[in-house]
């Protein structure tokens, strides 16, 4: 019998690496445990991504910095902010950010894809994901990812990104053109972190993805073989014990940002939950 492929996204693979318990609650538990409140930084990131995608869909003559700012303001998401004043302050900053960024773009340099879904298969996995922007530069493709967080990124971030490597391989196979360069465009600073992969480094990432998928797939199968699903105790608390051998928590600083922190005693002990706006600039 042919081996069943493990269907996944880079996000699913990275969630398994970060915390198997969070992976279980995200992808396996049904109904999914209620998440915590939305994060303001996610609203900023989604608003910026949406505006930039919409900007490229405009007619070429309409692709101006002012148009990008208008798209940002019209599509601004308000979830997670402390109050309306904080939301308005961040909206102004984000508008300046996208206007400054598109001012450095050539409106006529049409990308091959914007918010484009790509997919590929190996002998073990069927992986897919959505790319912020796919450029054609000469005979090669370039994967571009927009970043809006506080921390400036480096070439090591681009080199080590499993998602970017998967997108490069998938883009190359879908469009039948070589793709080795990946770029992280940090909009708050204007910095671009670049890495030029080799065929060998891309294949190392693919092998790593297969190894992660093998672990997660085995845990998935074991989970489905167990009945009942995780029990809820007093106050809706989840009894994790029957599944912790398969999906152990990995408590650490990242627990402060976990959507499921309230369902995880180990996570709450490792790092108190942050306010929904905690990842915004300190003066916001």
pLDDT of residue 110 exceeding 90: yes
Binned at pLDDT 50, 70 and 90, residue 226 comes out as: confident
Residue 230 has pLDDT above 90, yes or no: no
| pLDDT tens digits, one per residue of 205-215 | 999 999 999 99
- Complete domains list, the chain, with CATH: 113-204 (3.90.320.10)
- Identify the pLDDT of residue 182: 98
Provide CB contacts within 8 A for 171, sequence distance 6+: 113, 118, 131, 134, 141, 143, 177, 179
Residue with tokens 């922007």: 133
The predicted structure's pLDDT at residue 242: 76
Question: Which ranges in the chain belong to alpha helices (H)?
Answer: 10-18, 20-27, 40-57, 65-74, 84-103, 155-160, 162-175, 199-224, 265-270
Three-class DSSP category at 86:
helix
pTM for the structure as a whole = 0.92
- The answer on pLDDT for 123 being more than 70 is yes
Predicted confidence at residue 235, as pLDDT, reads 54
Strands 191-196 and 179-186 turn out to be antiparallel
pLDDT at 227 (0 to 100) = 59
Q: What are the tens digits of pLDDT across the range 237-262?
A: 666 777 888 999 999 999 999 999 99
pLDDT at 244: 87
- The string of pLDDT tens digits covering residues 10-31 is 999 999 999 999 999 999 998 8
Q: How confident is the model at residue 225 (pLDDT cuts 50, 70, 90)?
A: confident
Please give the Cα distance from 85 to 40 (Å, whole number): 13
> Could you read off the pLDDT of 150-200 as tens digits, one per residue?
999 999 999 999 999 999 999 999 999 999 999 999 999 999 999 999 999
Q: How confident is the model at residue 1 (pLDDT cuts 50, 70, 90)?
A: low
């Amino acid at each position: 019998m042919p081996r069943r492929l493990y269907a996944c996204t880079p996000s699913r693979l990275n969630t398994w690496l970060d915390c198997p318990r969070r992976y279980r609650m995200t992808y396996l538990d049904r109904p999914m445990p209620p998440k915590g409140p939305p994060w303001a930084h996610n609203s900023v990131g989604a608003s910026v991504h949406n505006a930039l995608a919409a900007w490229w869909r405009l007619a070429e003559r309409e692709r101006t910095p002012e148009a990008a700012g208008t798209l940002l303001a019209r599509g601004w998401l308000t979830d997670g902010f402390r109050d309306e004043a904080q939301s308005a302050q961040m909206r102004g900053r984000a508008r300046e950010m996208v206007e400054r960024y598109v001012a450095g773009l050539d409106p006529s340099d049409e990308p091959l894809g914007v918010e484009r879904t790509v997919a590929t298969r190996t002998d073990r996995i069927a992986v897919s994901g959505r790319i912020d922007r796919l450029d054609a530069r000469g005979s090669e493709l370039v994967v571009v990812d927009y970043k809006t967080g506080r921390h400036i990124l480096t070439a090591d971030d681009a080199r080590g990104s499993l998602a970017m490597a998967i997108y490069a391989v998938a883009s190359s196979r879908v469009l039948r053109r070589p793709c080795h360069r990946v770029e992280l465009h940090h909009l708050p600073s204007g910095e671009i972190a670049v890495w030029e992969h080799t065929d060998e480094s891309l294949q190392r990432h693919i092998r790593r993805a297969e190894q992660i998928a093998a672990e997660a797939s085995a845990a998935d199968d074991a989970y489905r073989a167990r009945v009942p699903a995780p029990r809820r105790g007093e106050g809706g608390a989840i009894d994790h014990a029957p599944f912790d051998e398969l999906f152990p928590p990995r408590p650490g600083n990242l627990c402060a940002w976990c959507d499921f922190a309230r369902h995880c005693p180990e996570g709450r002990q490792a790092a108190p939950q942050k306010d929904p706006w905690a990842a915004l600039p300190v003066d916001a």
